[in-house]
Chain A
Amino acid sequence: MMQKVNALDWRERRMVWHRRGVGITIITAIIALIFFFPVLIAIINSFKTKGEIIASAITMPKSPSLDNYRIVIEAADFPKAFLNSCLVTGGGIVLNIMVSTLAGYALARWKSVWADILTLVFLSSMFVPFHTIMIALLQTAKGLHLTGKIYGLILIYCGLQCPIPIFLIKGFVSSVPKELEEAAMIDGCGTLRMFFSITLPMLKPILATVAILNALWIWNDFLLPYLILAKPITIPLSQMYFFGQYNQQWNLIMAGFVVSTIPIVIFFLLMQKHIINGIASGAVKG
């Protein structure tokens, strides 16, 4: 009798477990742990000494210390790289969004064959790999004396990164009823004022998404800053030079990994919704 009750009890509990998704959650957790293993290893080893890592890379640190972090921040000139990365990303995004918004708006409202042709030209650039223009671009940048300068890199990002925002903004503006603008016009509103006080506020959500996704891309980009800047370092560049300089000192390299990843993780946590929705929505629409 007692046993039967227990069996029933057990079955019921299993049902509840199933409904609450305990089993699948545990499986997911195990997979997540495996997936996260490289990051864990990096974090653990960033607190160890070089000798400890040579002895074993998979043990916990005996006396965790922040020495590696101190060395990385000083030797890789991390604050400066961080500042440069912020400048390049921030400047690139602001300028990019400004010119793309104007262009996207104009192309949506300008009914002419030329608008279609221009849109097509902007769009066709998406098929061109960066490596195809890289050499000629570097020559152009040298010719314009833009190499080695942060603002030079910002200008180049603005040119290279504008097609997708223009396309998205154009699509969005086309879906906004024109009557709203015409009403404002009739009330005596000029084109400029109408753009800033009526159209722009409506564009805010899409602008935020575009800006954030572009920011992630620019922040992590390696090759263009490497070619154009070389010396004023951004974070990926600082890590590359640091890796070359401290080859095989994995304790330092792992600390560098953690330090350079923290800013982007904070950014992700703050902007999570925009990033995830941006990737999901932009992609599903194709």
Chain B
Amino acid sequence: MIFVLPALAFFIAFFIYPFFRSVWLSLTDAYGYNPEIHFIGLNNYKEALTNPNFKSSLWITVKYTAFVTVFANLVAIGLAFLLDGNVRLKKFFRAIFFLPNLMSLIIVSYVWVFLYGGVYQSFVSVLKIPDALQISWLGNETMALISIGITAVWQCAGYYMLIYIAGLQNIPHELIEAAQIDGASPWDIVQKIKFPMLAPVIFMNGLLLVTASFKAFDIPMAMTSGGPAGATTTIALQIYNTGFRANRTGYATAQSIILFVIICAITAVIYFLQNKGGDK
């Protein structure tokens, strides 16, 4: 069974070895490419868990993840219901909503920086919005996180929409027809049949969105570089800055292992919830 070997070789070289090396580096004081490395036990982890910057990046990532997961799911379900209905030009609309997902996050981010800046200013001057009601999309600490969240939702909703459409089409037609004959209103059908039947899909999309958003890097990096005042520095960006800007390799890998543990924990919890829900 020599067939496995090529894949295994690549996998060991570029995944397994780096992974265990990360674990080892996280226990050392490695700095940049300095060859002198000393074992320092769990000190990096202690530092990470007491460091306000890292803790704030954790909190920021949690808020960002919650925002993106909730709204991307809502938008995706909404669009899926719309396209599952009696709409003309279904394929065309489906392509339009999916299109942002094909674009590179970096480039999407630049377009949105422009929207939040120049385009918004043009609207302000055309509509004569008074100063007090103007929004500083990327300048304000709270708004900046919401703004990058909106960009993320816009970019990824189409992908989850496709999954929801598939889920809706998997619902047996007989079920809906039977309900219609029994005099169920369209709203009843949505509420009592479609939503319960979609529950596993909602769980799965939730899991995909949470784990993906927790790793958010491209959008905050391109749109705000983590600013203003670190308000959009996600964990991934924090790891990048610690590792490649500050060169604190050991400390950065410790942060990255914490991210790994968090993602494992979230996945486990969501699986557990889903199985528990399935038992009922």
For the complex, is B40 an interface residue (Cβ under 8 Å from A)?
Answer: no
B residues less than 8 Å from A131 (CB atoms): 215, 217, 235-236, 239-240, 256, 259
A residues less than 8 Å from B53 (CB atoms): none
Given A57-B114, A239-B104: A283 touches B7 (CB 8 Å cut-off):
no
B residues less than 8 Å from A59 (CB atoms): 122
A residues less than 8 Å from B278 (CB atoms): none
B residues less than 8 Å from A57 (CB atoms): 114, 118-119, 121-122
Number of A-B contacts (CB under 8 A): 250
For the complex, is A84 an interface residue (Cβ under 8 Å from B)?
Answer: no
A276 touches B93 (CB 8 A): no
A261 touches B107 (CB 8 A): yes
A280 touches B102 (CB 8 A): no
For the complex, is A150 an interface residue (Cβ under 8 Å from B)?
Answer: no
Task: Give the shortest distance, in Å, between B203 (CB) and chain A (any CB).
Answer: 10
Q: Specify which of A58, A118, A139 is in contact with B122 (CB 8 Å cutoff).
A: A58
For the complex, is A134 an interface residue (Cβ under 8 Å from B)?
Answer: yes
B1 touches A106 (CB 8 A): yes
Task: Give the shortest distance, in Å, between A61 (CB) and chain B (any CB).
Answer: 14
Given A159-B13, A284-B170: A136 touches B21 (CB 8 Å cut-off):
yes
- In B200-250, the 8 Å CB interface with A consists of 201, 204, 208, 214-215, 217-218, 222, 235-236, 239-240, 243-244, 249
Task: Give the shortest distance, in Å, between A273 (CB) and chain B (any CB).
Answer: 10
- In A97-145, the 8 Å CB interface with B consists of 98-100, 102-103, 105-107, 110, 115, 118, 121-122, 125, 127-137, 139-141, 144
A128 touches B19 (CB 8 A): yes
A35 touches B13 (CB 8 A): no
A residues less than 8 Å from B264 (CB atoms): 127
- In B78-128, the 8 Å CB interface with A consists of 79, 82-83, 85-89, 91, 93-100, 102-107, 110-112, 114-115, 118-119, 121-123, 125-126
For the complex, is A71 an interface residue (Cβ under 8 Å from B)?
Answer: no
A residues less than 8 Å from B125 (CB atoms): 56
For the complex, is B10 an interface residue (Cβ under 8 Å from A)?
Answer: yes
For the complex, is A176 an interface residue (Cβ under 8 Å from B)?
Answer: no
For the complex, is B162 an interface residue (Cβ under 8 Å from A)?
Answer: yes
For the complex, is A39 an interface residue (Cβ under 8 Å from B)?
Answer: yes
**Cα of A264 to Cα of B1 in the assembled complex, Å:** 38
**Cα of A130 to Cα of B15 in the assembled complex, Å:** 9
Q: Specify which of A127, A219, A279 is in contact with B159 (CB 8 Å cutoff).
A: A279
A residues less than 8 Å from B240 (CB atoms): 131, 134, 223
A284 touches B8 (CB 8 A): no
B residues less than 8 Å from A204 (CB atoms): none
A31 touches B82 (CB 8 A): yes
A residues less than 8 Å from B112 (CB atoms): 38
Given A103-B8, A131-B215, A133-B22: A24 touches B106 (CB 8 Å cut-off):
no
**Cα of A24 to Cα of B81 in the assembled complex, Å:** 11
A132 touches B82 (CB 8 A): no
Given A136-B18, A284-B201: A162 touches B7 (CB 8 Å cut-off):
yes
For the complex, is B263 an interface residue (Cβ under 8 Å from A)?
Answer: yes
B166 touches A284 (CB 8 A): yes
Given A24-B87, A57-B119, A102-B3: A132 touches B11 (CB 8 Å cut-off):
no
For the complex, is B64 an interface residue (Cβ under 8 Å from A)?
Answer: no
B126 touches A253 (CB 8 A): no
For the complex, is B65 an interface residue (Cβ under 8 Å from A)?
Answer: no
Most chain A beta-carbon neighbours within 10 Å: one of B11, B99, B100, B159: B11
Name the residue of chain B whose CB is nearest to the CB of A21.
B86
B residues less than 8 Å from A243 (CB atoms): 110, 222
B residues less than 8 Å from A99 (CB atoms): 6-7, 10
For the complex, is B163 an interface residue (Cβ under 8 Å from A)?
Answer: yes
For the complex, is A208 an interface residue (Cβ under 8 Å from B)?
Answer: no
Residues of B within 8 A of A (CB): 1-4, 6-8, 10-19, 21-22, 25, 79, 82-83, 85-89, 91, 93-100, 102-107, 110-112, 114-115, 118-119, 121-123, 125-126, 154, 159, 162-163, 165-167, 170, 201, 204, 208, 214-215, 217-218, 222, 235-236, 239-240, 243-244, 249, 252-253, 256-257, 259-260, 263-264, 267
Q: Could you list 15 A-B pairs, sorted by A, with CB under 8 Å?
A: A25-B89, A57-B119, A58-B119, A127-B267, A133-B19, A134-B243, A158-B14, A160-B15, A162-B10, A223-B218, A239-B110, A256-B107, A265-B102, A268-B95, A284-B167
